[in-house]
Every structure is written in structure tokens, then in C-alpha cells.
Amino acid sequence: MGLQNIWEVCKFSDEIAYGKLDMSKFAVELHSVLDGSADKTYTDPKLFLDNTFLTSNAKLMLKDALVRISRGEGQPVYVIDIEFVY
């Protein structure tokens, strides 16, 4: 028995299913989130977390960021490199 294809296992959003994915949603400037001009995917915490899978590394970066904000300790800058192949 082989592995199933991703489209047999997952339910895709309409954006993906109909080829209308806006690639600009994958890049956001922090100032746009703070001033509310970013896509609602980034400004609505519930929507953001509903659409986000937190990996162990993402959880670590979030924890480190909260420590940095609350205590001024830890790494001030992260470089996140994510490749999307389409």
C-alpha cells in the first residue's frame, strides 16, 4: 500500500483549489501589521493561528521573541528563509 497523494488527503482552500493564490500574502512587513494595513490574514490573530502550523522551530522563535520583548534578552534579529516551489 503506497502513500496517498496530498490532494486525496487534504482539503485545499478555494485560493489554492482555483489557482488564485496571492503570493504577496507570504511576505509581510511588520509595520503593515502594526498599522493595520496588512492583509487580514496577519492582522486577525484568530485567522492567523487558524491558518498557521507552528513547527517546533516556529514555537522556539515565538518563545524567544516574547522573551526579547518582555525582558530585552535573547536574539534581536532572525533571518527566516522559506522556499515555495510552484
Q: What is the pLDDT of residues 20-74, one digit of tens each?
A: 887 777 778 888 888 999 888 889 989 988 888 888 888 888 899 999 999 999 8
Residue 77's closest CA among 64, 63, 58, 60? 64
Would you state the cell numbers that stand for residue 40, as one nine-digit string?
487580514
Question: Distance between CA 86 and CA 36 in Å, rounded?
Answer: 29
pLDDT (0 to 100) of residue 86: 55
Residue 47 lies in a domain: yes
Question: Distance between CA 12 and CA 16 in Å, rounded?
Answer: 6
| pTM: predicted TM-score of the whole model, two decimal places | 0.45
Number of domains, the chain: 1
Residue 56 lies in a domain: yes
pLDDT (0 to 100) of residue 71: 93
Residue 18 lies in a domain: yes
C-alpha count within 13 angstroms, C-beta hemisphere, residue 31: 0
Range of the domain at 20: 6-71
Helix (H, G, I), strand (E, B) or coil at 60: helix
Residue 76 lies in a domain: no
Residue 81 lies in a domain: no
Residue 84 lies in a domain: no
Measure the CA dihedral 50/12/29/67, to 10°: 40
- For residue 10, pLDDT over 70 is answered with yes
pLDDT (0 to 100) of residue 70: 94
pLDDT (0 to 100) of residue 84: 61
Judge whether 62 and 74 are in contact, CB under 8 Å.
no
Confidence of residue 85 (pLDDT cuts 50, 70, 90): low
